[in-house]
Amino acid sequence: MTAIDERTITDVALEQMSATPNPRLREIMDCLVRHLHAFAREADLTPEEWLEGIKFLTAVGQACTPYRQEFILLSDTLGLSSLINTLHDRRSVEVGTKTSLLGPFYRQGAPQKKLGESIASPGDGAEICIYGRIVNLAGKPIPNASIEIWQSDDHGFYDLQKHDPSQMDLRGWFHADAEGRYSLRTVRPLGYLIPLDGPVGDMIRAQRRHGFRPAHIHFLVGAPGCRELVTALYLRNDDHINSDTVFGVTDSLITETKVNDPSSPFPSLPSIRFDFQLGAATAREESGRVGADPSQIVKTARVSH
């Protein structure tokens, strides 16, 4: 028997988990216990503080419903989700355009549209155009790539948050042409507050954070043999572009609309040009594709909304 103290407890716990047959589970739990214990030691956590933590995590779990995933929101607001995305990018054989958060508003079964069509309904806001190409890392076009888009309206609301959530709005998917070109019309989205009526909202207020996400447009871009890309474009002029509450913004995903852009297919509309670069897929990534069989990431979306 080992005398348990603040140092030995970690090894004693790891020893008890050492017969875990799944080697990856063993590795993850070993790593988790070491870092969890290191956190408690460094913070010199008291029983009262520990109990506050227990109550908070319990409240987060109990705020989850089939339509709300408060633990994903917690992960988002602690920067963990964004970190998981950057690790995912780094593991890939070829990265291309950076990953950004899928967020809780993805839905399967969005309507297919023709290139140049609008995904918006009357009243959604001021029209803009988004166009560009889908290319590989050498800049070579990827013909017939699929590109799916979803976003909030000019008041910061997704269709799922409005009147009749069964009606899809501001979402759709397109096939790029044989030269990898895509173009579509939509409206300028507005940034919005993350849901602040649960325990994560209490945390955000206690930390004096504003709780806003800057205006953005989500994309899911894919083609056979390519790594499926979950990303978002952000609008430069948003007040919260440098302080996204969920850390989704990165430099290379910030765009702006240009008026009178002669290369836009709709030069009269404010236009965003963005070329999506898809890396090659590993075998594992290939099998996890949304188009074929919904990937884990997309399952996240379903869990989280």
Site for its own copies in 244-263 (CB under 8 A): 245, 247, 249-252, 254
Window 262-301: residues binding its own copies (CB under 8 A): 296-297, 299-300
Closest CA to 116 of 218, 232, 265: 265
Rule CB under 8 A: which of 74-133 touch its own copies? Answer: 75, 78-88, 90-91
User: Under a CB-based contact definition with an 8 Å cutoff, are residues 301 and 102 in contact?
Assistant: yes
Which among 175, 182, 186 is positioned nearest to 151, based on CA atoms? 186
Among the listed ranges 117-125, 129-137, 182-190, 205-213, the one in contact with its own copies (CB under 8 A) is 205-213
Q: Specify whether the CB–CB gap between 214 and 234 falls below 8 A.
A: yes
Using the rule CB under 8 A, which residue among 122, 208, 262, 283 binds its own copies? 208
By beta-carbon proximity to its own copies, the closer residue of 1 and 178 is 1
**Total of chain residues touching its own copies, rule CB under 8 A:** 87
Residues in 44-73 at the binding interface with its own copies, rule: CB under 8 A:
44-51, 54-55, 57-62, 64, 69, 71-72
Cβ contacts of residue 247 below 8 Å, gap of 6+? 76, 79, 81, 82
The set of residues, in sequence order, having a beta carbon less than 8 Å from that of 160 and lying 6+ positions away, is 105, 107, 305
Contact criterion met (CB below 8 Å) for 144 and 223: yes
Interacting residues with its own copies between 19 and 38 (CB under 8 A): 19-22, 24-29, 31-33, 35-38
Cα dihedral 144, 149, 154, 159 in deg (nearest 10)? 130
Shortest approach of its own copies to residue 212 CB, angstroms?
A: 11
Token pair, residue 217, equals 């447009």
Of 215 and 249, nearer to its own copies (C-beta) is 249
Q: How far is the CB of 143 from its own copies (least distance, A)?
A: 28
The minimum distance between CB 31 and its own copies, in angstroms, equals 4
Q: Kindly give, in sequence order, each residue whose CB lies less than 8 Å from that of residue 270, ignoring residues fewer than 6 positions away.
A: 126, 128, 129, 188, 257, 258, 259
Smallest gap from Cβ 97 to its own copies, in A, equals 13
Q: Report residue 59 as tokens.
A: 């409240």
CB of 99 to its own copies, least distance (A): 9
> Can you tell me the distance from the alpha carbon of 143 to that of 160, in angstroms, rounded to the nearest whole number?
32
Read off the tokens for 302.
């379903």
Phi, psi of 172 (to 5 degrees): 175, 170
- Please tell me whether residue 193 binds its own copies under the rule CB under 8 A: no
Q: Which is nearer to its own copies, 49 or 179 (CB)?
A: 49
* CB nearer its own copies, residue 81 or residue 271: 81
Choice between 28 and 292, CB closer to its own copies: 28
Nearer to its own copies, 71 or 275 (CB): 71
